[in-house]
Chains A and B, each alone.
Chain A
């Protein structure tokens, strides 16, 4: 351990193993109404990040109301009882804050990064929309944000090459009642159907302090912040307990092949296997496998497809774990006029080779080193630390797991890599070929 590198705020230490872990210090407590509060002090920058994470995402949506959690997120920026429409952004941009929110399958996060003298403004605004949103809702605000969100869908999905591939895969991977079978952004017709009553119900059910985590990270004094948090959030009543969807992985009985013609010039192949939820050992092993397959020039698939054979423009693999299920995906974009069957054959032969001969200890070590660097970099900003602490609280129950996340990677063995390849990647999968219009011949349509 190198003491020169240690600061009081973010310590990097070596555990018994050689894996370097971060040590982001924090204190945590709960208000009487159930709001979970986390403080992390860092006086090296004149900045404080304030995040409020609600443990609700598209997973909590109902059928025919997809996209609702995210549409709701937009409504949270349209004012509350004491904050007029437009004022939320106006007040924060007046002090130079960076502001935004984001919705995932499992959670919705709002944040303000403020010059640290403006902490109270952020607490005031976050608490007003947590406690006093309903009286400010109007049909015209909803209509306006519905239009904005539809534009967001056009911008991020419909006007993007391959933009709808993910939702086609999810739909094939999960049964129609599984909440991961639909996209976070939602379908256009469901966005049209969302009513003001839906917004109110959703708020009453999920936007309660007992379903939220407030994090302050940066240049502030906890002794000053504690009374402020109580002052602004303490009077908000606790809501009902939230029913959480149970873990439910996808189960494929057989491989499904799909071909989709899109306005693209390069064919792209997506292979997707159902796997495991996030924050699991198995998920970590699969992430290491993703590194070995496609991260960096020497990775197995990159070297074979992009470097040696030059039949692919790019290839990328990842383990995408969520709260109640996860999947492993490899996607490869072909060079012009190259068929996807050829690419799938190369992927198959490399996976078979791993299945037969395994991977090397060096490959595992490189992957874990890359994870170490990723974790250290995640602590580079106050916002990054705040979001991580809130996520680990919401999804694992203990923010300390942020500091210990590399425990999941400790001692990953060659045998474990082999076992996930055999357990998951040898099983049924979704094969999606996206091909240029009229070029079904480029799809991978081999029989199993």
Chain B
């Protein structure tokens, strides 16, 4: 026994000298230097702007053609046109069939993707740098010689129609599509499903695609962003050759229409019988990317619902256990994009969760945030900036941001200063201006037999029953 005690004492003494005081928190060292991407620029003979950021860490080159026309350019009668045009871009050229394009790219280990979002259309390529020449040859062919074959179009049309069917099985997709439709309506490009509707897809022809392609996919309406293991003269030489037959032409000026004006809050309910969770979306059309309030708004939202330790997530997930995660965000688009708060909520707590969402938004609007919260949100945003340019994809994304929204050249070099300059007064002002829950729409997709009466009892506004697309049921 004595030996044991002695041993314990000895052990105690040994540790006492060295023992770490864990109540003391480590202090960070001075912030590391962030090397912003150095953009090299060139203009091809046909007018195409080429931006390159060299990154020789990996033997990979990523290119992305950013075209300044997305589903915002879809005619009101034909949602899905921009997306379908992008999807068809690699389905055949004057000299290659769809299978030849795929086969040749696969042999190189290269991937080519095309898609459209609300703000633009994008054709991207990723290739090993040793195969850059051969991969770019195919890529350029696709960009400027696409012929939109009827046979491939019929296949993709059916595929898209089936995608719409699949979306009706996915509550998050139902909620997001219905939310957009409810906020913007069928006459605004942001109101429609970017994949199109059954009606529009059935009405669409290859002629529509060719017209969209010819009027929007032109060098003077696009910028090619390249990041990776390449040199500017090498790239431009290959592009001059590959894109020689691609010509600029006049672009019709375009402005995204204004969304419908705000009206009194309503609650839109969509039935998904048996759903164990309710998908909630709360919001309204809020802001365009060009807003002068961008910086105070992102700092404010970081605290409201933009990170794990935001008020909304800590309340709904960590305090109440209603959800796996709840968030809020401002979707900044060329036109007026939405503010969205939401998440997947356990069915039994749907009404309680709505109260908490609205409470957190109202509280931010009424009182803004504390000086401690502002400091916290700022240091987090500033620290996170160092993590923004790690990969070629991230750098390409940053360049795409500048191109798409016409941001100033010094956008990233002045970013930290602008975050740091945000004041409590500005937070209060933007919260008050952009977080008015009395005109927000509340959209819930869930098992209405279990949640409808309890939501109605909250008296949040008129209850509107909708179908899976967000259209009012009669």
Contacts and interface: CB of A to CB of B under 8 A. Distances in A.
B415 interface: no
Contacts of B5: none
Contact of B58 (A90, A313, A379): A379
A121 to B, nearest CB: 5
A99 B384 CA distance: 11
Contact of B20 (A114, A235, A370): A235
Contacts of B277: 151, 154-155, 158-159
A136 B96 CA distance: 65
A144 B321 CA distance: 6
Most interface-central of A116, A121, A155, A158 (chain B CB within 10 A): A155
A2 interface: yes
A94 B109 contact: no
Contacts of A128: 22
A340 interface: no
B371 interface: no
Given A93-B308, A313-B159, A336-B165, A296 B57 contact: no
A297 interface: yes
A239 interface: no
B354 to A, nearest CB: 16
Contacts of A155: 277, 324-325, 344
A46 B158 contact: no
B387 A47 contact: yes
A298 B383 contact: no
Contacts of B309: 86, 89-90, 93
Given A148-B321, A155-B277, A265 B168 contact: yes
A225 to B, nearest CB: 12
Interface stretch (A7-15, A246-254, A347-355, A422-430): A7-15
B169 interface: yes
Contacts of A46: 31-35, 386
Interface string A367-381: 001101100110111
A151 B322 contact: yes
B383 A96 contact: yes
A5 B129 contact: yes
A10 B58 CA distance: 7
Contacts of A187: none
B308 A89 contact: yes
A115 B107 contact: no
Most interface-central of B98, B274, B384 (chain A CB within 10 A): B384
Interface in B175-233: 229
Interface stretch (B38-46, B115-123, B239-247, B373-381): B373-381
Given A94-B376, A99-B308, A297 B102 contact: yes
A382 interface: yes
B130 interface: yes
B383 A95 contact: yes
B109 A121 contact: no
Given A97-B383, A151-B323, A377-B60, A264 B169 contact: yes
A165 to B, nearest CB: 13
A263 interface: yes
Contact of B380 (A94, A121, A297): A94
A2 B130 contact: yes
A19 to B, nearest CB: 12
A144 B318 contact: yes
Given A151-B323, A266-B162, A44 B387 contact: no
Contacts of B129: 5
Contacts of B58: 10, 12, 376-377, 379-380
Contacts of B387: 47, 96-98, 113, 115
Contact of A235 (B19, B35, B107, B384): B19
B392 interface: yes
Interface in A124-152: 124, 128, 132, 143-148, 150-152
A158 B155 CA distance: 32
A206 B191 CA distance: 51
Contacts of B276: 154, 158-159
B433 interface: no
Contacts of A264: 169
A323 to B, nearest CB: 27
A179 B385 CA distance: 42
Given A120-B26, A147-B321, A47 B386 contact: yes
A202 B35 CA distance: 44
Contacts of A123: 26
A160 interface: yes
Contacts of A97: 383-384, 387
B272 to A, nearest CB: 8
A62 B26 CA distance: 39
Most interface-central of A12, A90, A307 (chain B CB within 10 A): A12
Contact of B392 (A161, A362, A370, A380): A380
B25 A151 contact: no
B141 to A, nearest CB: 16
A193 interface: no
Contacts of B325: 155
B102 A298 contact: yes
Most interface-central of A47, A90, A115, A159 (chain B CB within 10 A): A159
A96 B384 contact: yes
A94 B392 contact: no
B308 A297 contact: no
B392 to A, nearest CB: 7
Nearest to A156: B324
Contacts of B382: 96
B379 A96 contact: yes
A231 interface: yes
A195 interface: no
B60 A266 contact: no
Contacts of B314: 86
Contacts of B381: 96
B134 interface: no
A367 to B, nearest CB: 9
Interface string A10-27: 101000000010000000
A232 B20 contact: yes
9 contacts: A81-B22, A124-B26, A148-B317, A235-B20, A266-B169, A313-B163, A366-B106, A370-B106, A379-B58
5 interchain residue pairs of minimum CB distance: A96-B383, A147-B321, A96-B384, A46-B32, A297-B102
Given A94-B376, A379-B58, 4 more contacts: A7-B56, A45-B390, A155-B344, A380-B60
